[in-house]
Structure 1
Amino acid sequence: MTGPSADRPEFPDGYGLPESTDGLLTWADVEPKLVAAKHYWLASVRPDGRPHSVPRWGVWLDGRFYYDGAPTTRHTRNTEANPHVTLTLESGTDVVIVEGRSTATRADPATLGARLAEAFAKYHGDDYHPEADAWSGADGGGLRQIVPERALAWTSFPADCTRFRFGR
């Protein structure tokens, strides 16, 4: 899989974004932050249009974000009605914002399930130890994936403010 394309985002005049592409971040600069993060914020939209934001544990693997939870949670019910979500990291200065779609999925224990269980090891100190078969049942164990469509990132705003587009 090739990485997303990178360019400057469109901001209103006055934000000071450079006109050139000099100083853009690369996806290789950004993706490791998604892999290493332990805490993420997930924003979804309630059926009545009101926003909903919740902290989530999850893993970035193979260019996607995987997380799990009960189908009765507000964020799952939101994404079943409208799959468009925003995923962000905690920092307001070392910024990563991912826009995409959240969909229910399953993981075969011998392949993806084993890799997910290994990646979720970052939560073992928090007493969360999913096994490779945790997401293989009929309901996928509440497993969801976010497939990215766009991302914004910067470490030195506005000099390196970068937009990434996936699937183009």
Structure 2
Amino acid sequence: MSAPAPDRPDFPEGYGLPESTDGLLSWSAVEPKLVAAKHYWLASVRPDGRPHSVPRWGVWVDGRFYYDGAPTTRHTRNTEANPHVTLTLESGTDVVIVEGTSTATRAAPETLGARLAEAFVKYHGDDYAPAADAWSGEDGGGLRQIVPERALAWTSFPTDCTRFRF
């Protein structure tokens, strides 16, 4: 997967975004934050249009976010009806916001499943250590993937505020 294209986001006048592209962040500076994070916030939309946010564990692998859980959870039921989601990291000053779609998927244990199991090592201390075959069954073990469409990131607002388009 090639790196997404960076540019300036569209913000209302008065926010002080630079007009030039000087100071834009690189995807190579942002993506490691998605890989390293332990806690993420997932926002979805209920069928009646009300928002729903929930903290999630998950992993950023191969340019996508993978997480799992029961199909009966509110966020899974929401994304089955409307796959559009927002994924954010915890910080309000070192910001990463990913917009994309969440869909059910599966992972073969000898390929993607092995890479996911290795990435989930960051949760072993919390007694969560899925094996490479955890997501290979008919129901995918509740595995979902978020395919990014765009992302926003900044560490020094508004100077380095950057939008990435995938």
Q: Which runs of 4+ in 1 moved over 2 A?
A: none
SS of match in other structure, 1:60: strand
Aligned-residue sequence identity (percent) comes to 89
1:144 and 1:2 map into 2 onto residues whose CA distance is 22
Using the size of structure 1 for normalisation, the TM-score is 0.98
**Letter matched to residue 87 of structure 1:** L
Aligned to 1:85: 85
Written as runs of structure 1 = structure 2, the 5 A alignment for 1:1-168 is: 1-166=1-166
Q: Deviations over 1:46-79 (max 9, x none)?
A: 0000000000000000000000000000000000
Aligned residues: 166
How far did 1:39 drift? 0.2
SS of match in other structure, 1:2: coil
1:23 and 1:86 map into 2 onto residues whose CA distance is 25
How far did 1:2 drift? 1.1
RMSD over aligned Cα, in angstroms? 0.3
Mark the runs of 5 or more structure 2 residues left unpaired by the alignment: none
Q: Deviations over 1:2-30 (max 9, x none)?
A: 10000000000110000000000000010
How far did 1:162 drift? 0.1
How far did 1:142 drift? 0.1
1:110 and 1:63 map into 2 onto residues whose CA distance is 19
SS of match in other structure, 1:71: coil
